[in-house]
Amino acid sequence: MDQLDVAIKSLIAHNAQLNIYVVNTDIPAEYFMKYHNFLFGTTNRVIDWKISEAELKWDASFKYITKISYARMLLPDLLPQDINRVLYLDCDVVVNANLDELFRIDLNGKSLGMALDWFGYETMTNRYNSGVLLFDCDVWRQNNYVDGLKKETERRVAYIEHTDKEIRLDEQADDQHIFNAYFDYDSIYELAPEYNMAYGVEAYKVSQQTKEKFLQNKRKIIHFTGQNKPWTWMGDTNGRQEWWMYHEMSVRDALAMYQENQAQKQVLVFTLTENIRGIEQIAKQCPQVSFLIVAPSEVTFKVLRLNVHPNIFVKKVFIKENFNYDKVKAVLMLGEESNKVADQKFFNQRGLPVLTYQDLALEGVEYAYQATSVDEMIAELNLRVEN
């Protein structure tokens, strides 16, 4: 449960609006009360999702892979049927970034998103790592993949006759081998390595070419593969410091870290009108961003009502010359009318990136980006905030 705690705290330190399903057979209810109490009133939930031992028919001979590992194969059937997109994470991970992109990307009808495995990516047998999995549950249900994986597992089980009737799996029947064997690689959406940066002592044994391929990436999800984990091994493993930082952190500390991170992702929406194109859709699709709507005068009730969104804050009678712009990532000009060149050039002079729609752009103003649609604006904002 220490490892589970670290994974959950690192998730909520960088993300909001999460339903975190902890699939388990025996974790006490008291464990979940801690998260219920601390997360009450926030947009995150930690959910005790019990399954029966009977659903886990397989066992493994690997010392660090347990029977519960095979529950990941069953998720589209185990979880509520109204869920379409599921991100599965092993417990031996640290999340270092906002993961909203994984819930937005188009899997193009593919069944599963997986990142390359450091040690198998050049092969045709075990190319992808199963510690981070992105499910399109609708595709799985339509194609009955859960039953298919069960049959693939049973096919690979080697029955060993012992007096105690022990059953174990062969060396290529752990869950990762089964995923790689069952799915045609054309049906797997390849996630960027930054979403499964697999670290462990074994990483030192890979070639320089492999290190360059993977280590140049950001570390949005650190995955401690192999047996040498940061909580058991005394050596220096990549990501070890991050793991212990979250281990020592309380749930309250993690929430405070999220708030601090969000405060650093502030976007100013300057407006002279109540008709702010796409602002509600933008705010919903960019929950990690704080949108400060500012107007140099009183605002209408329509604008004030935007405060209902958890990441929108309306500030009326705004004096732009007196504001501290240190935390502002960008200025959005989304007003449908009454735009003034002087106001927009003021932000140019402050060195702030100004974003607008193409049809709202004014001559004489320098724009960092001109979107043709609300969706384009959302994509550009997410890119800027992440960078």
Read off the pLDDT band of 214 (50, 70, 90): low
Tens digits of residue pLDDT in 337-370: 888 999 999 999 999 999 999 999 999 999 999 9
Neighbours of 96 (CB within 10 A): 19
CATH superfamily of 2-260: Spore Coat Polysaccharide Biosynthesis Protein SpsA; Chain A (3.90.550.10)
Q: Counting beta carbons within 10 angstroms of the beta carbon of residue 354, is it exposed (0 to 12), middle (13 to 18) or buried (19 or more)?
A: buried
The answer to whether the CB of 194 falls within 8 A of the CB of 217 is yes
Q: Locate CATH 3.90.550.10 in the chain.
A: 2-260
pLDDT above 70 as % of the chain: 85
pLDDT at 317 over 60: yes
Would the pLDDT of 246 be above 60? yes
What CATH homologous superfamily does 264-386 map to? Glycogen Phosphorylase B; (3.40.50.2000)
Give, in order, the Cα–Cα distances in Å from 195 to each of 93, 125, 359, 372.
Answer: 10, 21, 36, 30
| Span 367-384, average pLDDT | 93
- Please list the residues that pair with 332 across neighbouring strands: 269, 355
Residue intervals in the chain for CATH 3.40.50.2000: 264-386
What are the DSSP E strand ranges found in the chain?
Answer: 19-24, 45-50, 85-89, 93-95, 112-116, 128-136, 157-159, 167-169, 188-191, 197-199, 221-224, 266-270, 290-294, 312-315, 328-333, 354-357, 369-371
Provide the mean pLDDT of the chain.
85
Q: What pLDDT does 222 receive? A: 92
Q: What is the mean pLDDT of residues 4-29?
A: 94
Digit-coded pLDDT (tens) for 248-306: 999 999 999 988 887 777 899 999 999 999 999 999 988 878 899 999 988 899 999 99
